[in-house]
């Protein structure tokens, strides 16, 4: 996969053309332009000369966007930041190509001067409006000064056959106004359009920057211990085993383990936690954590490429390639919208005068209004920007969403299936109760239970040993027998110890106490004498308590628990959490079969999600419309199998993700309805002669600007929520 940086890409229609023509190339298997990231991902076909393909892609981009600078990922200048005029921190030999930095700044200044000069000429033209021999010249001077870039781009695109280009249509519309002797309106429309474009570009760039700020995880440098000195290096230059120093206020560059120091670390950017964690020696840290109050020495445990921060950034950067159905519809719609509106403009200008005998100029003016409205910029800019803003907001909350298609699916999710252990429960067994038989002490039950389970690696055995730590010498265990599905029989010194379930006790004809408690019961007997039982249970996570009610309030109709545990445990957990259904005593293959049945039952357009720990649930995660893994950032398999990764081991984040998805969709729908509604209204009024060119420009540039500003609510709302 080749990734190209398209520095200076601000034209959405050009981005669409680049993507379309790249996909038509014989040497390209697939190509996707990420307008938000200003990047292009290209998957080449086999046996293709990469150098030749790279040059072909650069030539293609230059054809449609001559002002865009194209770099293959990794070839960009050191210190380069997309969208910035200056290259901060670049060495002389690593600065952008000669003239690039100055050209951007000078172009901007010249553009402003030209615009102001055009406005001055326009003011003079209005002042001399009654003296046509002078005013027309001034109007034309003002027109060319103000619309220079639009006119130049239009002429350039004519030679490329791009007659439906927005710039060309704007030139035709304004020249038409001159033809109708609407000189003031012709220049005013171009002025309004240019000013609107400036504000629109600024709003888009600000939105891009705000989105990037939401996922600003990467440290710009690392302090590496080298020959007794601390030396600043790139995070990519670190290797496993290196010792680094993280000072207060600095980001942890890569994953590692603290070897010296104690400090509070802000983990919000990765996990969404608002409260800093206090970490000290031997505690693991992830790249992207922010050290707040004391220096730490950290031993590197992974390279940058394998670190948590690199995985997160990779997922987010590639998320815009997985487009939602809405984005795909808008892309298809945009291809037909402009030609259709241009055709209507031509028909409106020609047919009514021929039929009614009205003056041709009257209907030409109405047709010109259609030309101005013919660009779907408000949609093709704001829709992908909105979805990417939602993905960025989710990331800020500790929820990684792999693409807008999953953001859309999350909004439509009406059934959620949960794995139990490690998802809704802590996955850590502990002794919750010890019940001794008559004449027996509870400590004696625990002691012999611990001895009996001393040779077992089972989590239940570990929980008993943790409750009653006891050093048992290997030579004291004369024999150890695992009895499948029942328990263990151990010969300890001169005693025979039984530890297991009811069936094991019945096999030895021992009367036992009845255990009505919820959990796993381990009965203990020594030399044929029943001592009592130990109750082991897995605790429900605190944050899972109100989750099901929150999901119901968000529109989820059905919550289902899948577990391999006994029916009484499954029923207890489902009742405690207010779940609708449960399925118990399931093997991994049974879970797959149950999920297949659930998918067959689902309603059209609704989605079904599965939430698991991401380690043992890969088949079901892959089957689900939305596979959600929790606390699985460290597992490559989990990240690969899941559509959504919750970085913190917190079930409540599922509800947060749905809220973000619904809010994002609300913004997207608002923009679609607003953009199409205003355009349709102005076209209708224009056809009836009740709208002028000013209204048409507002319906084009003004609506696009408002739509982009509306998108900004997503990440500003996210920032407020994070601070709360």
Helix (H, G, I), strand (E, B), or coil: what is residue 90?
Answer: coil
Name every residue whose Cβ is closer than 8 Å to that of residue 348 and which is 6 or more positions away in sequence.
363, 366, 367, 370, 687
Q: Residue 164 class from Cβ within 10 Å (0-12 exposed, 13-18 middle, 19+ buried)?
A: middle
| Exposure b/e, 282-306, CB count within 10 A at least 16 = b | eeebbbbbbbeeeebbbebbbbbee
Task: Give CA–CA dist 694/705, Å, rounded.
Answer: 15
Q: Is 419 assigned a catalytic role?
A: yes
Q: Which pairs count as long-range contacts for 544-548, CB under 8 Å and 24+ apart, including other chains?
A: 544/424, 544/425, 544/577, 544/651, 544/652, 545/576, 545/577, 546/652, 547/424, 547/577, 547/651, 547/652, 547/654, 547/655, 548/577, 548/578, 548/579
Paired with 496 in beta bridges are 491
Q: How many residues are present in the chain? A: 724
Counts of helices then strands in the chain (DSSP H, E):
24, 26
By three-state DSSP, how is residue 629 classified? strand
Given CA atoms 181, 184, 185, 189 in this order, what sign does their dihedral have?
Answer: positive
Q: Give the number of C-alpha atoms closer than 13 A to the C-alpha of residue 327, restricted to the C-beta side.
A: 28
Q: Which residues contact 226 (CB under 8 A, 6 or more apart)?
A: none
Q: Is the dihedral of CA 115, 121, 122, 123 positive or negative?
A: positive
For residue 277, the 8-state DSSP code is: E
Tokens representing 179 are 């033809």
CA-based nearest residue to 207, from 674, 705, 703, 672: 705
In degrees, to the nearest 5, what angle opens at C-alpha 345 toward C-alphas 341 and 351?
A: 130
User: CA gyration radius for the chain?
Assistant: 33
Instruction: Please name which of 108, 67, 65 lies closest in space to residue 85, comparing C-alpha atoms.
Output: 108
| Phi, psi (degrees; rounded to nearest 5) at 524 | -130, 135
3-state secondary structure of 541: coil
Q: Is 592 helix (H, G, I), strand (E, B) or coil?
A: helix
Catalytic, out of 419, 625, 650, 700? 419
Nearest to 12 by CA among 146, 207, 213: 207
SS3 565: coil
CB proximity list for 369: less than 8 A, separation 6 or greater: 173, 345, 682, 683, 686, 691, 692, 693, 695, 696
Residues 6+ apart with CB under 8 A from 278: 262, 263, 264, 265
Q: How far apart are alpha carbons 495 and 489 in whole angstroms?
A: 11
CB of 566 closer than 8 Å to CB of 582 = no
Active-site residue list: 419
């Amino acid at each position: 996969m080749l990734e190209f940086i398209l520095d200076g890409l601000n034209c959405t229609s050009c981005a669409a053309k680049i993507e379309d023509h790249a996909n038509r190339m014989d040497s390209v298997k697939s190509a996707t332009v990420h307008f938000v990231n200003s990047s292009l991902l290209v998957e080449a076909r086999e046996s293709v000369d990469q150098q030749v393909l790279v040059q072909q892609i650069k030539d293609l981009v230059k054809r449609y966007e001559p002002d865009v600078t194209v770099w293959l990922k990794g070839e960009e200048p050191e210190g380069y930041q997309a969208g910035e005029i200056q290259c901060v921190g670049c060495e002389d030999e690593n600065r952008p190509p000669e003239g690039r930095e100055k050209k951007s700044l000078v172009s901007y200044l010249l553009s402003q001067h030209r615009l102001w000069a055009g406005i001055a000429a326009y003011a003079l033209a209005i002042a001399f409006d009654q003296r046509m021999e002078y005013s027309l010249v001034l109007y034309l001077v003002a027109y060319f000064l103000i619309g220079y870039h639009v006119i130049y781009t239009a002429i350039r695109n004519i030679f490329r056959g791009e007659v439906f280009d927005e710039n060309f249509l704007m030139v035709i519309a304004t020249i038409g106004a001159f033809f109708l002797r609407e000189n003031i309106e012709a220049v005013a429309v171009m002025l309004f359009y240019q000013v609107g474009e400036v504000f629109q570009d600024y709003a888009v760039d600000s939105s891009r920057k705000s989105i990037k700020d939401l996922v600003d995880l990467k440290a710009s440098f690392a302090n590496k211990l080298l020959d007794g000195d601390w030396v600043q290096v790139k995070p990519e230059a670190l290797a496993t085993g290196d010792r680094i120093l993280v000072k207060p206020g600095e980001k942890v560059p890569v994953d590692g383990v603290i070897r010296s120091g104690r400090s509070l670390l802000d983990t919000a950017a990765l996990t969404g936690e608002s409260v800093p964690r206090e970490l000290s020696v031997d505690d693991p840290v992830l790249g992207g954590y922010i050290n707040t109050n004391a220096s730490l020495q950290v031993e590197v445990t992974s390279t940058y490429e394998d670190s948590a921060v690199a995985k997160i950034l990779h997922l987010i950067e590639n998320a815009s390639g997985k487009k939602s159905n809405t984005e795909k519809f808008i892309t298809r719609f945009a291809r037909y919208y402009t030609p259709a509106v241009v055709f209507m403009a031509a028909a409106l200008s020609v047919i009514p005068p021929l039929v009614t005998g009205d003056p041709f100029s009257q209907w030409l003016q109405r047709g010109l209004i259609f030309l101005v409205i013919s660009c779907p910029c408000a949609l093709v800019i704001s829709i992908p920007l909105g979805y990417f803003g939602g993905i960025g907001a989710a990331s800020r909350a500790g929820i990684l969403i792999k693409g807008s298609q999953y953001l859309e699916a999350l909004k439509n999710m009406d059934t959620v299936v949960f794995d139990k252990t490690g998802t809704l429960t802590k996955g850590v067994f502990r002794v919750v109760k010890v019940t001794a038989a008559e004449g027996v002490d509870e400590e004696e039950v625990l002691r012999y239970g611990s001895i009996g389970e001393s040779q077992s690696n089972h989590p239940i055995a570990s929980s008993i040993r943790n409750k009653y730590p006891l050093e048992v010498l290997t030579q004291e265990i004369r024999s150890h027998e695992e009895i499948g599905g029942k328990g263990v029989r151990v010969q300890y010194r001169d005693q025979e110890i039984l530890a297991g379930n009811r069936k094991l006790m019945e096999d030895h004809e021992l009367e036992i106490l009845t255990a009505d408690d919820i959990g796993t019961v381990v009965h203990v007997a020594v030399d044929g004498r029943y001592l009592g039982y130990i109750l082991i249970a897995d605790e429900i996570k605190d944050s899972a308590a109100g989750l099901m009610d929150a999901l119901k309030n968000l529109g989820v109709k059905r919550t289902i628990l899948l577990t391999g545990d006994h029916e009484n445990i499954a029923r207890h957990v489902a009742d405690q959490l207010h779940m609708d259904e449960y399925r118990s005593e399931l093997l991994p293959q049974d879970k797959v079969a149950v999920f297949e049945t659930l998918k067959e039952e689902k309603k059209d357009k609704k989605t079904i999600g599965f939430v698991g720990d991401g380690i043992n649930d890969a088949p079901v995660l892959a089957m689900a419309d939305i596979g959600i893994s929790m606390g699985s950032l460290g597992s490559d398999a989990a990240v690969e199998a899941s559509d959504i990764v919750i970085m913190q081991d917190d079930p409540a984040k599922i509800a947060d993700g749905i809220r973000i998805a619904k809010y994002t969709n609300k913004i997207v729908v608002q923009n679609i309805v607003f953009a199409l509604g205003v355009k349709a209204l102005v076209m209708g009024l224009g056809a009836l002669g009740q709208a002028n060119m000013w209204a048409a420009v507002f319906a084009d540039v003004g609506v696009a600007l408002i739509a982009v500003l509306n998108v900004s609510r997503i990440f500003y709302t996210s920032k407020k929520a994070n601070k709360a």
